[in-house]
Amino acid sequence: MVKTFERGVFLPHYKKFSEDKPITRLPLPRELVIPLRQHTGAPCRPLVAAGDKVEAGQKIGASDAFVSAAVHTGLSGVVREVAKRPNIAGEMVDCVIIDVDQGQEFPTWPAEDYAGLPVDEIKARIREAGIVGMGGAAFPTHVKLSPPREIDLVVINGCECEPFLTCDHRLMLERADDLIEGSRLISKVLGGPKVIFGVETNKPDAIAVLEQKLVKEKDMELVQLDVKYPQGAEKQLIYAVSGRKVPPGKLPFDVGVVVQNVATAIAVLEAVRNRKPLVDRVLTLTGPGTPNPGNYQFFIGTTISHVIESTGGLQDDVVKVVVGGPMTGWAQLDLQAPLTKGAGGILALTGEVTQVTDYMACVRCGKCVDHCPMFLYPNYIGVYGELGRYQQAEQWGAMDCFECGVCVYVCPSRRPIVSFVRRTKKAAAERHRAATRQAL
Ligand code: SF4
Ligand code: SF4
């Protein structure tokens, strides 16, 4: 039976550009720009300085905070400088900038025997490798695998519900054994709960491959999910596969569940089996504005421009470049921004698939309320957020909004409600920081 969640929207898929393209590696970049903050939690401090020689896999940033994730370089080279650069969200962040040794071989990490490793050592390897959730949230994985209560269900998120993106689809097809083994390790760390793979029905080939391999796994199963957005959001996914509702303000572990994305599960395996740090990942370069759409493996810190230039550039009719998916991604003004552990896509959009229009006043049609998967009132959040009355926006649930963009998609006035939510959250964080400073 195909399952789903309540509300949400049916979107055009736009997966055809890249869903049949096998994963390929991009050529070596000339430089890596590696942000010291590319995860939820405390930023890293640099462990290197200008002029230092670095080797592939070397840790170049770390933090003593538990909620943080170390950063490494995937390529050898020389540190040019540690300096602020704009990230994909337009914020200035500290980065280690490395002139990459040209002509080097792509690094490899040989497999070790890991069968009898105790749970603490598995977790230590995951933390040391700097693994974060690769579905976009970039939450440190070692933290997620240390929940404060018992977990009886692991959900592996293979929805990839945003239009255009296909990198997780290709990973499920091309690396199904590694995905299953990584998921087994995640379950082992959590005490051995059942594992459910949630996959939308627009990936029938991946479903067939996984179902055939899962036949012999007694505590693993695959659940097919309707192609609806945001099916891959944690709370919606948990409800669809298990019927459990995560209450507002609570987290998946409060209902005994941990969710991990498919790319993260594979990275976990590589960290434990190969001691490979998270130095590369796969993204989907796609859209009608790129001549060579596909699924490309790149090193963390590669700039957007390197990906675009090494795949044939952009067509003249591109009106917008987005990093991430079309619903939750970030429109780019500067193609020199570096790609991080959470970057799953670059979209080259033309006027055929996107609108660049001004927004208008709310006409009180109620469509955003009808479709919001969190049962919020996006209209009020938007109005108060726009006026800078952030505490009232919070009262209407802005902090429970996970920025899926459904309200923006259905709004006839094209109101940028997610931008208003982000402003509200930023104001709340500043208020919290000011209160903390005053209390000290
Ligand atoms: S208010 Fe937030 S959660 Fe609700 S539809 Fe809009 S972006 Fe999604
Ligand atoms: S969909 Fe747009 S116009 Fe309609 S109520 Fe919501 S914010 Fe207002």
- Give the pLDDT confidence of 63-119 residue by residue, as tens digits: 999 999 999 999 999 999 999 999 999 999 999 999 999 999 999 999 999 999 999
Mean pLDDT of 279-302: 98
Closest CA to 387 of 427, 432, 356, 329: 427
Mean pLDDT of 44-71: 97
Q: Count other C-beta atoms under 10 Å from residue 191's C-beta.
A: 10
Q: Which amino acid is at 388?
A: G
59 and 277 in contact (C-beta within 8 Å)? yes
Closest CA to 323 of 312, 310, 335, 315: 335
Q: Cis omega before residue 230 (within 30°)? A: yes
Residue 440 in this model has a pLDDT that exceeds 80: no
Which of the residue ranges 53-57, 89-93, 163-167, 290-294 would you say has the lowest mean pLDDT?
89-93
Residue to probe by mutation, ligand 1, list 402, 409, 410, 425, most atoms within 8 Å of CB: 402
3-class DSSP state of 132: strand
348 and 290 in contact (C-beta within 8 Å)? yes
**CATH architecture, domain defined by 119-273:** 3-Layer(aba) Sandwich (3.40)
3-class DSSP state of 46: strand
Question: Does ligand 2 have an atom closer than 6 angstroms to the CB of 372?
Answer: no
The per-residue pLDDT for range 354-385, each reduced to its tens digit, is 876 789 999 999 999 999 999 999 999 999 99
Write the residue with the smallest CA distance to atom 3 of ligand 1.
401
Residue to probe by mutation, ligand 1, list 229, 413, 418, most atoms within 8 Å of CB: 418
**CA 140 to ligand 2 center in whole angstroms:** 35
Q: What is the mean pLDDT of the chain?
A: 96
**CA 288 to ligand 2 center in whole angstroms:** 29
At 60, list the tokens: 């170049």
Enumerate the domain spans of the chain.
Answer: 119-273, 367-439
Residue 137 in this model has a pLDDT that exceeds 90: no
Residue to probe by mutation, ligand 1, list 395, 401, 410, most atoms within 8 Å of CB: 401
**CA 340 to ligand 1 center in whole angstroms:** 25
Question: Does ligand 2 have an atom closer than 6 angstroms to the CB of 367?
Answer: yes
Which is the closest atom of ligand 2 to the Cα of 363? 3
The per-residue pLDDT for range 212-221, each reduced to its tens digit, is 999 999 999 9
Which is the closest atom of ligand 1 to the Cα of 402? 3
Write the residue with the smallest CA distance to atom 4 of ligand 2.
365
Write the residue with the smallest CA distance to atom 2 of ligand 1.
401
Q: Give the number of the ligand closest to the Cα of residue 377.
A: 1
At 228, list the tokens: 């609806």
Residue 200: band (very low, low, confident or very high) from pLDDT cuts 50, 70, 90: very high
**CA 418 to ligand 1 center in whole angstroms:** 7
Write the residue with the smallest CA distance to atom 8 of ligand 1.
404
Task: Ligand 1: list residues with CB < 6 Å.
Answer: 372, 374, 376, 378, 381, 401-407, 417-418, 421
156 and 265 in contact (C-beta within 8 Å)? yes
**CA 91 to ligand 1 center in whole angstroms:** 23
Residue to probe by mutation, ligand 2, list 358, 359, 362, 406, most atoms within 8 Å of CB: 362
Does an H or E element contain 195, and which? strand 194-200
The β-bridge partners of 345 are: 284
What percentage of residues in the chain have a pLDDT greater than 90?
A: 93
**CA 374 to ligand 1 center in whole angstroms:** 7
The pLDDT value recorded for residue 55 is 98
Residue 199 in this model has a pLDDT that exceeds 80: yes
Q: Compute the distance between CA of residue 398 and CA of residue 420 in angstroms, rounded to an integer.
A: 9
Mean pLDDT of 134-155: 95
DSSP assignments along 106-125, one per residue: PP-------TT--HHHHHHH
Write the residue with the smallest CA distance to atom 1 of ligand 1.
378
Residue 439: band (very low, low, confident or very high) from pLDDT cuts 50, 70, 90: confident
Q: Count other C-beta atoms under 10 Å from residue 42's C-beta.
A: 15
Q: Give the number of the ligand closest to the Cα of residue 422.
A: 1
Residue 281 in this model has a pLDDT that exceeds 80: yes
